[in-house]
Amino acid sequence: MSPTARDERASGVLSTTFGVGVFLVLLYFATYVLLNLWLTSTVDASAHDAAIDVATSDPAAFTRVEAEVDAVARARASLGSYGSKVTFTFEPSGPGEIVLHVQAPSLRVAPPLVADALDIGGLDRRIVVHLENGR
């Protein structure tokens, strides 16, 4: 056996391990981004629907507080088990508008030590819906 062939033996292990490691990091990053995009769009849509439900509720049938409680219950139900982690708060607003403050923690797919270092911070938004008739 020639000395050149002997020196190259097992030289692919390090590069293969490094390549697999980079692939797993990229896969984790893509998973993290996709889950948080799903979180943002789903919670944002549920909150927007809840604010619109309150804005379009019939004042003769429901008081505003009853409409808010009903809208929050439906928003939580649409989010499933994650809905218990989300905070919906209707804030005082000017005449002719509904303001809904929604807060949701971010989804974590890594151990706590790694997740705390990469935490984006979840979702914290205010949804403002203007009433057309100025109720």
**pTM summary value:** 0.76
Q: Which two tokens stand for residue 13?
A: 């292990």
pLDDT category at 1 given cuts 50, 70, 90 is: low
* Residue 131: closest CA among 94, 91, 89: 94
Domain boundaries, the chain: 38-130
Report pLDDT digits (tens) over 85-104. Answer: 999 999 988 888 999 999 99
Return the bridge partners of 126, or none: 101
- For the chain, the average pLDDT equals 85
Looking at residues 104-128, what average pLDDT do you find? 78
Instruction: Give the largest CA-CA distance in the chain.
Output: 94
- Of 3-12, 25-34, 58-67, the least confident: 3-12
Sequence-distant (≥ 6) Cβ neighbours of residue 71 within 8 angstroms? 49, 50, 51, 53, 54, 57
- Of 45-59, 63-77, 93-107, 117-131, the least confident: 117-131
Buried-state track 103-128, b at ≥16 Cβ within 10 A, e below 16:
ebebbeeeeeeeeeeeeeebbeeebe
How big is the CA angle at 28 (ends 22 and 32), to the nearest 5 degrees? 145
